[in-house]
Amino acid sequence: MIKETIVDGFHNAPHRSLYHALGLTDEEQSRPLIGVVCSYNEIVPGHVNLDKIAQAVKLGVAMAGGTPIMFPAICVCDGIAMGHTGMKYSLVTRDLIADSTEAMVRAHGFDGLVMIPNCDKNVPGLLMAAARLNIPTVFVSGGPMLAGRVGGKKRSLSSMFEAVGAYKAGKINEEQLSEFERKVCPTCGSCSGMYTANSMNCLTEVLGMGLKGNGTIPAAYSARIELAKHAGMQVMELVRKNIRPRDIMTAAAIRNAITADMALGCSTNSMLHLPAIANECEVKFDLDEVNAISEKTPNLCHLAPAGPTYMEDLNEAGGVHAVLKELEGLNLLDTSVMTCTGKTMKENLEGIVNLDEEVIRKPENAFGKTGGIAVLKGNLAPDGCVVKRAAVASEMLVHEGPAKVFESEESCIAAIYGGKIVKGDVVVIRYEGPAGGPGMREMLSPTSAIAGMGLDKDVALITDGRFSGATRGASIGHVSPEAANGGIIAYVKDGDIISIDIPNYSIKLNVSDEELAKRKAEMPIKKKEVSGYLKRYAEQVSSADKGAIINK
């Protein structure tokens, strides 16, 4: 406790003098010190409201008898970073966030924490820090953006990226493109579909680290401010009871998160972040278990980009807890797990009702009998690769076609807009993995270009990089081992036939072992010249199937 190590006793008078320099009274110094880790900034739409969330949290902490002290965490906007060098700095910030939060907390001896993230790497980075630090912690996100409206239909950021492809294909004019630009992102908040940020905020509820509504209450709603106050009050209860993140994020809780992921149809990036969080919790994460869970978990939600509903609709339907209630009825969850409410999941689900059976389907009317994500294996990806099955058109669940190979995202986009990608092709983008990128760029631009040009039901895309949660179509990422580490994807050539069978979790390069051995001898592995943090990251990062963690 901070009181014992920093405040009490004559020998801690220098520390107390510095607290007085902050304006902290003797009374404030005598109370538990709660770190309010806030990723507010003025460049990320999901974070511009977090100053208000932080003030509400601080009020809640103070009302419950604690002393709140705020300090920052960083965040990259994946949408703004998309399609250029900036995206190399997205995933890598996850570890910077975890490491810098660890440094601040250990140096200053906080008794408890309230984490205020919102966007893609910010949420898992702070969950990793919470597990590593293991002091009482509650999460409250900034909340999702409200959906935009164009042409009488709800829209989101994925609609904007696809509109660029539609404009290039001559399907919409410049005036229509401008309307999308001005209307698809109408409020602050994390982008309004079931993209990575909202996926991880929803899974924070499932993991037991966020209160009910954390993943779904829109950023623009006053209920979000009330939730923040309750989070501030609740952390004091956890401090009193000494309930810690590793008491909550157990192996059972991680399995619950995978199960809920399948039902919600979350982003494929959850298959990077859940292993990394499990690693910090010292819980084994087996990628092979994902398909076993998927096989028995129905896909109950089709939020954008998979369908026409948005986070605000999920919230009105009862939110994440209503989805969990449906899964509880199928005996697919371990509801004995502890949560940040101080109660078990089973207790939290008492009285929860599904309020909209179109947004959250009943299991007997599910969108699919199996979960939203699938892990494929085969000679092209012996350690696995990942696809958001819930966002794949039925025509593309099984596909075979010739490879069109690109060494970078940029060269692929040029080929798509140049009309060089045709029906039946399997686009391969390599050297974009965790080490090879480095940084494992999200590739919303090429997938959106394919969809915008009307090819999403005819063309597959495979990469050792990753995709935005806003991606739809047969987009298969996280190919492991990656090209930079000598994976088979490094040796694919134009015209090679690739077979994809998502229902049977299979991906195969139809080239003989003898031919592959010959190519390995003739085709050297390419290394990119990078410096600074990216150089260190590339040297230390694990493969995607291990969660792209920094090797200890």
The set of catalytic residues is 468
The C-alpha atoms of residue 261 and residue 355 are separated, in whole angstroms, by 20
Nearest to 170 by CA among 459, 455, 456, 453: 453
The C-alpha atoms of residue 335 and residue 341 are separated, in whole angstroms, by 14
DSSP single-letter state for residue 532: H
Residue 325 CB partners (closer than 8 Å, separation 6+): 318, 349, 352, 353, 354
For residue 411, give the 3-state DSSP assignment.
helix
The string of DSSP codes covering 136-190 is: -EEE----BPPPEEETTEEE-HHHHHHHHHHHHTTSS-HHHHHHHHHHS--SSSB
**Six token digits for residue 193:** 């579909």
Sequence length of the chain is 552
Measuring CA to CA, how many Å separate 278 from each of 163, 178, 245? 37, 43, 12
Nearest to 440 by CA among 194, 118, 89, 197: 89
The C-alpha atoms of residue 157 and residue 547 are separated, in whole angstroms, by 26
520, burial (CB in 10 Å: exposed 0-12, middle 13-18, buried 19+): middle
Nearest to 42 by CA among 72, 10, 86: 72
Measuring CA to CA, how many Å separate 397 from each of 57, 203, 460, 506, 520? 45, 26, 10, 11, 30
